[in-house]
Amino acid sequence: MPKKFRFSNLISEITEPEKVPVSSEEVGIDPGVSHLAAFSNGKMNEHPRYYRQAKKTFSRKQQALSSKKRGSHRWDKAPRW
């Protein structure tokens, strides 16, 4: 029986990063509860919503799993969290 080999080639190009212009503007950062950060220039960053996204996908997968009979082939194949 012949052996199977897999080969892969990765090529990347390294470039110099762009120089960011120096700014004399000062900005204060205030970490908050309702927003992740509030800046003194009025800009606000929102919190990432990891929990809400995970909760939605978990509920869908749980519903798919609950319709299968425990220990069956389809139950084993069902996506888990």
Nearest to 68 by CA among 53, 80, 81, 56: 80
Q: What mean pLDDT comes out for the span 39-59?
A: 86
pLDDT recorded at residue 81 = 63
Domain containing 55: what range? 49-81
Domain-embedded: residue 42:
no
Q: Residue 45 above 80 pLDDT?
A: yes
**Tokens 């220990």 identify what position?**
71
Model confidence, pTM: 0.40
Domain-embedded: residue 60:
yes
Q: Residue 1 above 60 pLDDT?
A: no
Give how many domains the chain has, as a whole number. Answer: 1
At 5-44, the pLDDT tens digits run 788 888 888 899 899 888 888 888 888 888 888 888 888 8
Domain-embedded: residue 59:
yes
